[in-house]
């Protein structure tokens, strides 16, 4: 039974990843988007808790721990992609199932039999093949510390979800606390960004005022130009940060995003990037109007529906199956994103991706046939 819930969770997280992938090409704030995502999760979980009449017990407070783990994991992963090599960060952050298996054994004596261990190895090997990039240099370890922190936090989130089922915590109140904690963290980050932008604008205005008091029209004009350029660079940096950020709250989507970036780097003429038809369609359909904070927050709430459904399914799967196996199967959400890049973005699979997909699929079949 657990494998069915885990596969459905992977599908939901894969759909969420597709939406994040589309959003990564737009000039919007990922912090605001994730705040909306977690806020919708809290609303859906609260409504489900009220309608189902579940009891709000102290054990449900483990959801706060889950929310903090999820927030730190995504913040660390973003920092790793920002300062380090995407392929290295992707491989490290693909390993939570391995850590979950080890820690679940140490904490709860959850061991895998020989068949389960073989299927687990096949699935994890498939995931690593999908994430592997040929440009990974052994000597380039920039961002590895952030990736390791993200790995620990993603594993901690999975273990916390499994722990909540062992405590008998009610599902919907637990998820409400998780999403509420994450929403508060991202809201605080959003507020910090607003303060930083306001401080930068004030400094620019102060420089303009100081130059204008000198009585030089030319210097005043230059100061305005400098302020405008700084504002443009700041906006460009925010858009670039949004495009570099990957799937938060679960397994990162480096393999799919790298494939899209590689396709867009092909040029038909010097200095002119070639866009795929799907990229143009996404840009024109979603990027026609400016992405204000309100619009970005609303888009995040839409993504939150898939995230909430995925969390409900994965926590339910933890209640029936072993934490390491559930974590490994759910990590296959990257396959959904790869299928999206193949049939929508029209990108070809590499040989390693095909091998990884085949291996992961074989691992699922083994688990099913052997009664995992």
Provide mean pLDDT across the span 37-63.
97
SS3 287: coil
Give the N- to C-terminal CA distance of the chain in Å, as an integer.
10
Q: How many domains does the structure of the chain reveal? A: 1
Alpha-carbon distances of 22 from 81, 138, 246, 272, 330, rounded to whole Å: 18, 31, 11, 21, 21
Are residues 93 and 147 in contact, defined by beta-carbon separation less than 8 angstroms?
yes
- What confidence category does residue 287 fall into, taking pLDDT thresholds of 50, 70 and 90? very low
Residue 134 has pLDDT above 70, yes or no: no
pLDDT for res 277 = 47
Q: What is the pLDDT of residue 251?
A: 40
Q: Pick from 306, 341, 335, 340: which is nearest to 94 by CA?
A: 335
The tens digit of pLDDT for each residue in 6-43 reads 999 999 999 998 898 788 788 889 899 999 999 999 99
Share above pLDDT 70 across residues of the chain, in percent, rounded to a whole number? 75
If you average pLDDT over residues 89-93, what whole number do you get?
78
What is the spatial distance between Cα 304 and Cα 318, in angstroms, rounded to a whole number?
A: 21
Residue 100 burial (10 A CB sphere; 0-12, 13-18, 19+): buried
Give the domain extent around 106.
2-369
Using pLDDT thresholds of 50, 70 and 90, give the confidence band for residue 370: low
pTM of the predicted protein model = 0.76
In this predicted structure, the answer to whether residue 224 has a pLDDT above a threshold of 60 is: no
Phi, psi of 313, deg, nearest 5:
-70, -40
Please give the pLDDT value at position 299: 94
Q: What pLDDT was estimated at residue 218?
A: 47
Residue written as token pair 């637990």: 174
Judge whether residue 278 has pLDDT over 50. no
pLDDT tens digits, 94-114 = 889 999 999 999 999 998 888
pLDDT score recorded for residue 372: 55
Share of the chain above pLDDT 90, in %: 44
Average pLDDT over residues 60-80: 92
Range list of β-strands (E), the chain: 267-269, 272-273
Are the C-beta atoms of residues 275 and 25 closer than 8 Å to each other? no
Long-range contacts of 285-290 (CB under 8 A, 24+ apart): 286/22, 286/23, 286/26, 287/25, 287/26, 287/27
Report pLDDT for 360. 85
């Amino acid at each position: 039974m657990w494998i069915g819930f885990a596969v459905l969770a992977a599908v939901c997280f894969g759909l969420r990843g597709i939406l994040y992938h589309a959003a990564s090409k737009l000039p919007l704030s990922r912090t605001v988007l994730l705040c909306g995502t977690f806020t919708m999760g809290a609303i859906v979980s609260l409504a489900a808790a009220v309608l189902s009449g579940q009891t709000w017990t102290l054990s449900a407070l483990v959801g706060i721990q889950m929310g903090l783990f999820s927030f730190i994991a995504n913040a660390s992963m973003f920092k790793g992609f920002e300062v380090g090599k995407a392929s290295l960060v992707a491989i490290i952050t693909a390993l939570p199932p391995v850590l979950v298996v080890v820690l679940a054994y140490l904490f709860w004596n959850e061991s895998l039999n020989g068949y389960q261990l073989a299927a687990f190895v096949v699935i994890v090997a498939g995931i690593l093949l999908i994430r592997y990039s040929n440009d990974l240099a052994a000597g380039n370890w920039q961002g590895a510390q952030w990736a390791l922190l993200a790995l620990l936090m993603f594993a901690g989130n999975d273990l916390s979800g499994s722990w909540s089922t062992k405590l008998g915590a009610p599902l919907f109140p637990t998820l409400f606390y998780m999403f509420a904690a994450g929403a508060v963290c991202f809201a605080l980050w959003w507020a910090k960004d607003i303060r930083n932008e306001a401080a930068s604008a004030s400094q620019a205005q102060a420089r303009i005022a100081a130059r204008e008091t000198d009585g030089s029209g030319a210097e005043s004009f230059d100061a305005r130009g400098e302020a405008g350029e700084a504002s443009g660079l700041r906006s460009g940096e925010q858009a670039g940060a949004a495009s570099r950020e990957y799937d938060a709250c679960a397994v990162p989507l480096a393999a799919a995003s790298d494939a899209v970036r590689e396709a867009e780097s092909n040029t038909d003429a010097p200095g002119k990037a070639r866009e795929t038809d799907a990229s143009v369609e996404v840009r024109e359909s979603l990027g026609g109007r400016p992405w204000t904070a309100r619009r970005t927050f609303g888009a995040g709430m839409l993504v939150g529906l898939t995230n909430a459904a995925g969390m409900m399914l994965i926590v339910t799967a933890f209640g029936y199956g072993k934490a390491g196996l559930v974590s490994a199967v759910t990590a296959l959400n990257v396959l959904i994103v790869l299928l999206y890049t193949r049939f929508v973005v029209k990108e070809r699979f590499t040989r390693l991706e095909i091998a990884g997909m085949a291996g992961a699929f074989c691992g699922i079949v083994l688990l099913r046939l052997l009664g995992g």
